[in-house]
Amino acid sequence: MKKFIASLSMASLLVLAACGGDDANTENGAEENGADTGEQAEGADLSDLFVTVATGGTSGVYYPIGGAISTILESELGIDSSVQATGASVENINLIDTGRAELAITMADSVLQAYEGSGEFEGKDPIESMAGLAALYPNFVQVVTTEDSGIESVEDLRGKSVGVGAPNSGVELNARMVLEAHGMSYDDINEDYLSYSEAIDQIKNGMIDAAFVTSGVPNATVIDLDTTHNAKIIPIEGEAMEYLEENYPFFSAESIPAGSYDNEEDIPTAAITNLLIMSTEISEEAGYEITKTLFENLDQIQGSHNAAQEITLETVDVGMPIPFHPGAERYLKEVGAIE
The phi, psi pair for 137, rounded to 5°, reads -155, 160
Q: CB-hemisphere CA count at 13 Å for 152?
A: 1
Residue ranges, the chain, pLDDT below 70: 1-45
Give pTM, 2 decimals.
0.70
A 10 A CB-CB count for 330 gives 17
| Same CATH fold assignment for domains 14-137+274-334 and 139-272 | yes
Cα four-point dihedral sign 153, 159, 160, 162 = positive
Q: 285, 41 in Cβ contact below 8 A?
A: yes
Q: Which of 208, 212, 221 is nearest to 184 (CA)?
A: 212
pLDDT of the residue at 43: 54
Task: Provide the pairing of β-strand 252-256 with 267-279.
Answer: antiparallel
pLDDT of the residue at 292: 98
Architecture of domain 14-137+274-334: 3-Layer(aba) Sandwich (3.40)
pLDDT of the residue at 115: 96
| Domain locations along the chain | 14-137+274-334, 139-272
- On whether the 139-272 domain is CATH 3.40.50.2300, my answer is no
pLDDT of the residue at 74: 96
DSSP code at position 86? -
